Amino acid sequence: MNRDEALELIKDVLTDVVPGADTAALAPDENFRDNLEMDSLDFLNFIEALSERTGLALPESDYPVLNALDSSADYVASRTSVK
């Protein structure tokens, strides 16, 4: 998966978890958890859905990277690229 595909997937997952979320209004480097007022359960639902859709194990130690669009897309793309 390339970075653009990863970014679109992350936006899709966010709108699934937070219905009505305007992902187009999110700055690439802003904390979307704060902007979308996601509580811890919403964020865990995001992590679980992202894991299911990508097939990646997402350890808790990596959660801080998964709070913004850019860093999330970089993370997913780097772990799903063909090696």
CATH numbers and ranges of domains, the chain: 3-80 (1.10.1200.10)
Q: At what angle do helices 40-54 and 3-17 cross, to 10 degrees?
A: 140
The pLDDT of residue 83 is 44
The pLDDT of residue 82 is 54
Q: How many residues does the chain have?
A: 83
The pLDDT of residue 24 is 92
Taken in order 54, 6, 59, 69, the sign of the CA dihedral is negative
The tokens of 52 are what?
């299911």
Taken in order 43, 26, 15, 20, the sign of the CA dihedral is positive
> Against a cut of 0.75, is the pTM above it?
yes
With a cut of 70, list the residues of the chain below it in pLDDT. Answer: 82-83
